[in-house]
Structure 1
Amino acid sequence: MVGLPVTDLNAPIGPDEFSALMERLGPWPADSRLSPVAIAVSGGADSMALAVLALRWRQSIMALVVDHALRPESANEARLTAQRLSDVGIPVKILTLDAFPAGRMQERARGARFAAIEQAAVELGCTDLLVAHHLSDQEETVWMRYVGGSGPSGLAGMAPQSIRGRIRVVRPLLEVHPARLRATLLAAGVAWIEDPSNQNRRFERVRWRQDLTSGQRSAAHSMRAEAVRKRLGDDADLAEILAQHAQWHAEGWVSLERAGLNETVVASLIRLVGNQNYRPSRESVRRLLEQPEGALGGVLMRQAGRWGDGLIFIREERACEGAIAANSDAVWDGRWRYLGSEDGEIAGLREAASHLDARALGCPASVIRTLPGIWRDGCLMALPDLLDEGSGAPFVWAGNVPATGESVFDAEKDL
């Protein structure tokens, strides 16, 4: 995280400079209307500048503007943003979110926002999504995680690129000071929306943004560089252990030989099988390993028995999602994507799995109970094709959590 060598923070970002940033993050699809690059645009200065710069870089782009419906004025702001983008020749699509259930509003909004953007990107043929996190965002993220007790994985901050769901999320501005983004818009004559919540000290990130000294911001660069170095080494060690001692099974469970057992491996596998945003804390993993079996993060750790000499990690049945509508492309339990078109609901097999021969299927019975099926009026209409090849309902693994090298979205900084 080293800012670009530009001393004048009032200097707009030129096309060549932005193209150089994008070149480092390639390869990119051909500049064709069949494969546009998507841009998440909130209407604020950062994302508007990113959209303007992207249009100078390539012709085939698509701005995605989300009306989150959390404030009365959000619909008007989305339309205003779309108009401003259209006025400079940027194609745009507004995505309107449904109402959220009460509780954890910000968290639900972030999840729904990304789900809508991902779905729209896939439908438009986009494999890449640009987001406008910048240098100051990165500095604030590092300090927030440092104070929160994060290890190297957290202190490494936001990655320039990461896979999330079915798209690659790219942050080309992590070395760019936000003042230069505003200068870019001023030079282009493009207006933006000022979100009043960006000055509300009730939010932790706002307090960090306003209170960090220049010395602390500089220190964040060194902290992150050391964390990245350490994490790369840790990831290499973890990858080697997993390759030698762990086996991923198509039904969404993992078997681990005892020779590969350690706290980091267990934390990684719990996150993988449970499709969690973060690994469980080291202390909680340590307590789990003091027992022969147990549950953590929606995942059961059990003795392997006939499945090997070590442990198995499976989805905890009681943590599975309830029934959802069997819409094509629906994701159940955050883990399984439905590719069929049969009417009904998607829900776990649970007791309906009791008549299946787990030994013949080569899968623990407790795993089968957590797999999805198609239900109608309380009756199981179809098993997943994992268990009934040829006539089962088509499901594919939808978990977006890698075992190593992972990078997650910053929970406090929206798209």
Structure 2
Amino acid sequence: MPTRVTPDIEGPAGLDALFAAVAGEPVVALAVSGGADSLALMLLAQRWAAQREAAPRLVVYSVDHGLRPEAAAEVAMVVEAAHGLGLAARGLAWLGEKPQTGVQEAARSARYQLMGAAMAEDGATVLLTAHHQQDQAETVLMRLAHGSGIEGLRGMAAMAEVEGIRVYRPLLSIDPAALRAVVEAAGLVPAKDPSNADRHYERVRWRQAMPQLADLGLDAAALSLFADRMAEADAAISQMADGCFAEIVRLDGFGAARIELAPFVGLSPAISTRLLGRVLNIVGGRQKPRALGQVERLRRTIAEQGLAKATTVLGCVIRVKDGAVAVAREPGRALPSDAVLMPHGELVWDERFRIVNASPEADLTASVAEYLPRHRLEEFLGFKITAPAEAIRTAPIVRDASGGVLSLGGWSFDERIKVQLLID
């Protein structure tokens, strides 16, 4: 059975390999809780920066979630240890009332919000976290149990966007035992969070099951290698689906899509599901981009049974007509309220259109088009309209203070407004 060898994390070459992806950043933030893994991240990042002539400035953040009395002292320990290494550091606190349920998820969101705000103040462009090989293995097992497809089974990506923050995970291939050894050698005593042993949490239950799985050959290294191979397969499917998207999908100015039925049905299920998911994501306002089961069921119905009547999925109305799958935004479902366009500002409308006010005027308003007679539209636009009625009703329209129409959907009729349909 192929196994993964934990990379060298002590020598200069090993450190350069770990942090190469962020070597060109001006300021790099580190999320350090005080546990062994994050303390190791701080130590390794400091050693890496110290050996470089032009290294990013490192800044350490540690968050007190206000959930345990020991947390304040743990944050103080992290800040002191960081200062001892010559690093900038500060503690952050999650204040206010805490939810009665979903505490971990709420704490995670608050943590990223606090660090994101701190990064903006400090000029940091990327946040380093200490997720390691064991974390990756647990993530893969949880997603496998939840029925994830290949996209989910690739596990955590080394570089990702989380809660609007650019995050880099340099330790995903590292055995946590190696990280603990780094901390012990430095003479630091890591904090211990009792929630890491609380079986109320699914991740903890998988963590406690890992020794039994390892006895059968399914250890963290094997699962991490599996995640890498799933990532390669996922990239291949994405590449093929993107090529097919360019060939058989047409998006119009109202944000509706048309998928040619015959070539769509002829694709392999993995590729057609990925393509269909991307279309629903674009047209539906990116409501649930990972709702794989719903996309799979819709693809199967279209390909194997045909779609006898219109159906709604993920904020979209889907129907098969004239040899194509027509997809339009579902009216009345979480559509945005009227929004004033700030002078020389922009807004992302319904997660589908980027609308830019290129003027100094402050009285331009974007809203839902609602009902516009098709014949009036054709007179206005100068061509025949074939888009579904739902697409017309849910398109954005920009008006000035006198009610004049400056743009509709992706069409701009005035130099003050620029509109772009978002397809990625």
TM-score by length of 2: 0.70
Whether the aligned pair in 1 keeps the contact of 2:173 and 2:224 (CA below 8 Å) is no
Residue 349, structure 1, aligned to residue 353, structure 2: no
Query: C-alpha separation between the residues in 1 aligned to 2:37 and 2:185?
Result: 14
Task: Provide closer, same or farther for how the CA distance between residues 73 and 180 of structure 1 changes in structure 2, counting only shifts above 3 A.
Answer: same
Q: Could you list the per-position Cα deviations for residues 284-343 of structure 1 after superposition, in whole angstroms to 9, with x for gaps in the alignment?
A: 3246534243221223324577xxx62343443443266599798887755677888999
The residue number in structure 2 matching 1:319 is 333
The residue number in structure 2 matching 1:268 is 278
Task: Provide closer, same or farther for how the CA distance between residues 351 and 252 of structure 1 changes in structure 2, counting only shifts above 3 A.
Answer: closer
Whether the aligned pair in 2 keeps the contact of 1:358 and 1:365 (CA below 8 Å) is no
Residue 294, structure 1, aligned to residue 298, structure 2: no
Query: C-alpha separation between the residues in 1 aligned to 2:241 and 2:250?
Result: 14
The residue number in structure 2 matching 1:285 is 298
Amino acid at match of 1:316: E
Q: Which has the higher contact order (CA 8 A, sep 6+)?
A: 1
Identity of aligned residues (%): 31
Whether the aligned pair in 2 keeps the contact of 1:86 and 1:92 (CA below 8 Å) is yes
Pairwise CA distance, 1:145: 2.3
Amino acid at match of 1:152: I
Of 202, 207, 229, which aligns to 2:205? Answer: 207
Unaligned runs of 5+ in 1: 403-415
Residue 239, structure 1, aligned to residue 242, structure 2: yes
Task: Provide closer, same or farther for how the CA distance between residues 354 and 231 of structure 1 changes in structure 2, counting only shifts above 3 A.
Answer: same
Whether the aligned pair in 2 keeps the contact of 1:353 and 1:368 (CA below 8 Å) is yes
Query: C-alpha separation between the residues in 2 aligned to 1:350 and 1:162?
Result: 32
Of 35, 41, 53, which aligns to 2:32? Answer: 41
Q: RMSD of the alignment, in Å?
A: 4.6
Residue 216, structure 1, aligned to residue 234, structure 2: no
Whether the aligned pair in 2 keeps the contact of 1:64 and 1:93 (CA below 8 Å) is yes
Query: C-alpha separation between the residues in 2 aligned to 1:41 and 1:296?
Result: 41
TM-score by length of 1: 0.71
Pairwise CA distance, 1:229: 4.3
Q: Could you list the per-position Cα deviations for residues 207-237 of structure 1 after superposition, in whole angstroms to 9, with x for gaps in the alignment?
A: 1111112222154245435534433332232
Task: Provide closer, same or farther for how the CA distance between residues 302 and 136 of structure 1 changes in structure 2, counting only shifts above 3 A.
Answer: same
1:148-187 correspondence to structure 2 within 5 Å = 148-163=146-161, 168-187=166-185
Deviates more, 1:148-157 or 1:173-182: 148-157
Whether the aligned pair in 2 keeps the contact of 1:129 and 1:169 (CA below 8 Å) is yes
Query: C-alpha separation between the residues in 1 aligned to 2:346 and 2:76?
Result: 28
Query: C-alpha separation between the residues in 2 aligned to 1:366 and 1:136?
Result: 47
Amino acid at match of 2:290: Y
SS state of the match for residue 218, structure 2? Answer: helix
1:16-415 correspondence to structure 2 within 5 Å = 16-23=13-20, 26=21, 28=22, 30=24, 35-58=26-49, 59=55, 60-68=57-65, 78=75, 81-92=78-89, 104-115=102-113, 117-118=115-116, 120-121=118-119, 124-163=122-161, 168-213=166-211, 214=214, 215-217=217-219, 218-221=221-224, 223-247=226-250, 253-258=256-261, 259-260=263-264, 262-273=272-283, 274-275=285-286, 276-281=288-293, 283-286=296-299, 289=302, 290-291=306-307, 292-302=309-319, 310-320=324-334, 349-350=367-368, 354=372, 359=378, 360=380, 366-367=390-391, 369-370=393-394, 389-392=414-417, 402=424
Task: Provide closer, same or farther for how the CA distance between residues 250 and 220 of structure 1 changes in structure 2, counting only shifts above 3 A.
Answer: farther
Task: Provide closer, same or farther for how the CA distance between residues 178 and 251 of structure 1 changes in structure 2, counting only shifts above 3 A.
Answer: farther
Amino acid at match of 1:56: R
SS state of the match for residue 319, structure 1? Answer: coil
Query: C-alpha separation between the residues in 1 aligned to 2:329 and 2:94?
Result: 29
Query: C-alpha separation between the residues in 1 aligned to 2:195 and 2:408?
Result: 45
Query: C-alpha separation between the residues in 2 aligned to 1:97 and 1:368?
Result: 44
Whether the aligned pair in 2 keeps the contact of 1:134 and 1:174 (CA below 8 Å) is yes
Query: C-alpha separation between the residues in 1 aligned to 2:362 and 2:108?
Result: 29
Query: C-alpha separation between the residues in 1 aligned to 2:162 and 2:168?
Result: 10
Amino acid at match of 2:82: L
Whether the aligned pair in 2 keeps the contact of 1:134 and 1:178 (CA below 8 Å) is yes
Task: Provide closer, same or farther for how the CA distance between residues 324 and 52 of structure 1 changes in structure 2, counting only shifts above 3 A.
Answer: farther
Count of matched residue pairs: 382
Pairwise CA distance, 1:191: 4.3
Whether the aligned pair in 2 keeps the contact of 1:81 and 1:192 (CA below 8 Å) is no
Deviates more, 1:330-339 or 1:124-133: 330-339
Q: Could you list the per-position Cα deviations for residues 148-178 of structure 1 after superposition, in whole angstroms to 9, with x for gaps in the alignment?
A: 3333222222222235676643221111011
Pairwise CA distance, 1:242: 1.1
Amino acid at match of 2:333: A
Deviates more, 1:75-84 or 1:52-61: 75-84
Whether the aligned pair in 1 keeps the contact of 2:9 and 2:15 (CA below 8 Å) is no
Task: Provide closer, same or farther for how the CA distance between residues 226 and 165 of structure 1 changes in structure 2, counting only shifts above 3 A.
Answer: same
SS state of the match for residue 349, structure 1? Answer: strand
Query: C-alpha separation between the residues in 2 aligned to 1:74 and 1:54?
Result: 23
Task: Provide closer, same or farther for how the CA distance between residues 283 and 342 of structure 1 changes in structure 2, counting only shifts above 3 A.
Answer: same
Query: C-alpha separation between the residues in 2 aligned to 1:144 and 1:263?
Result: 22
SS state of the match for residue 192, structure 2? Answer: coil
